[in-house]
Structure formats: structure tokens, C-alpha cells
Amino acid sequence: MRSQPNIIVTGTPGVGKTTHCEGLAESTGLKHLPINDIVKERGCHDGFDEEFKSWIVDEDKLLDAIEDEVKQGGYIIDWHACDLFPKSWIDLVVVLRVDSTLLYDRLKARDYPEVKLQENLDSEIMEVLLQEARDSYDEEIVVELTSNTSEDMESNVERIGGWVKQWRKDNAGNAQ
């Protein structure tokens, strides 16, 4: 058993995943695991998609690359997908949501190609990632949080920090 929880923070690009993860890592001592960086640094991809300006992720290589670390616990997984991570690895799935007008502005500011911008807006509007989380994990560990403002983010980080504190208390006997 793990002595530290693993959390996935997921959502459409531009919802504030990385900012949330950095704040959480700072307040809880858990390690931020930015999957985009892992994909690049550890070669867990099949090349680069020019149209979408993103890496083509090899999910098997990715899981192999992080398995030993994540199985020990203590990680905040930062990625726009969650369904590939085994249920046994994950204790909480946080799906960040944002108003589509705000999301459009955030993605535009990142110079997203129009096709990628539109796909991500559609994904947010259709609640694709929320549904993916609900389909992949037990309902009681999936939490949907709004991330429109910095106040939302602070409140979310505080709330998740409280969850981590409780998880540690409830699982104190699990340390190996």
C-alpha cells in the first residue's frame, strides 16, 4: 500500500492544470508530474504532429516510463487525458472546467492553431474529459472543479489540500 496518494489533475488545455498542480505540489509536498514533459524528455512518443503542434504519445511507453515512480505514491499527474492510467494507481481525479469564452481567450493567447483551438473548445463544451473520468474511475473519486479565476484556483488547491491531509490520516497505517 502507498503512504501517499496519487492525484490526476485533468481537463482541456488552458483550464489551469499546471498552475493547480504547482500550487498543490507546494502546499502538499506531493510531486508534480507534468506528462507533456515526461513524453518529451523520456521519448514516450511517435514523433510530432505538425497540424496540432503536439507530440504523438505512445501510451505504453509512457506508462512504462512512470510506473515505478507512480506506484510508490505521492504524485500529482498533470495531463489532458486520464483514462490510460490504471485505477489501482489513482486515488483522486480532479477534472478542471472553465467557461468556454475564457478558454477561447486562453488558447488564443497560446497561439494554438485554429484546428486545435476548435477541437479543445468542442471537447470542453461537450464535457468529454469529465465523461472520460467518470467512465474510467469510481464515481466517488472523480471531482469536477471550476477554474475561471485565480480565486477559484486558490480555493480548489485548498480543497484538494484538505483532501490530501484526510487521505494521509486515513491511510497512516499503510506506510511500508
User: Which pLDDT tens digit goes with each residue over 58-75?
Assistant: 999 999 999 999 999 999
Higher-pLDDT residue of 115 and 160 is 160
User: Comparing 91 with 174, which gets the higher pLDDT?
Assistant: 91
The label of the residue with cell 485565480 reads 150
Going through 4-91 in order, the beta strands assigned E by DSSP cover 7-10, 31-34, 45-49, 54-57, 75-78
> pTM of this prediction?
0.92
Fold (CATH) for 7-167 = Rossmann fold (3.40.50)
Give the C-alpha separation, 17 to 135, whole Å.
20
H/E element holding 142? strand 142-146
Q: How many CA atoms lie within 13 A of 110 on its CB side?
A: 19
Query: How far from each other are the two terminal CA atoms of the chain, in whole angstroms?
Result: 7
Q: What is the pLDDT of residue 36?
A: 93
Q: What's the CA gap between 74 and 25, in Å, rounded?
A: 10
* Binding residue positions: 14, 16-19, 110
pLDDT at residue 52 in the model? 78
Place of cell 513524453: 39
Angle subtended at Cα 47 by Cα 43 and Cα 52, rounded to the nearest 5 degrees: 120
Q: Cell digits for 93?
A: 481525479
Among the listed residues 145, 103, 144, 147, the one whose alpha carbon sits nearest the alpha carbon of residue 122 = 103
pLDDT band, residue 175 (cuts 50/70/90): low
User: What pairs with residue 25 in β-bridges?
Assistant: none
> Could you tell me which residues are annotated as the binding site for ATP?
14, 16-19, 110
Residues 8-64 pLDDT 10s: 999 999 999 999 999 999 999 999 999 999 999 999 999 998 887 888 999 999 999
pLDDT for position 172: 85
**pLDDT at 174 > cutoff 80:** no
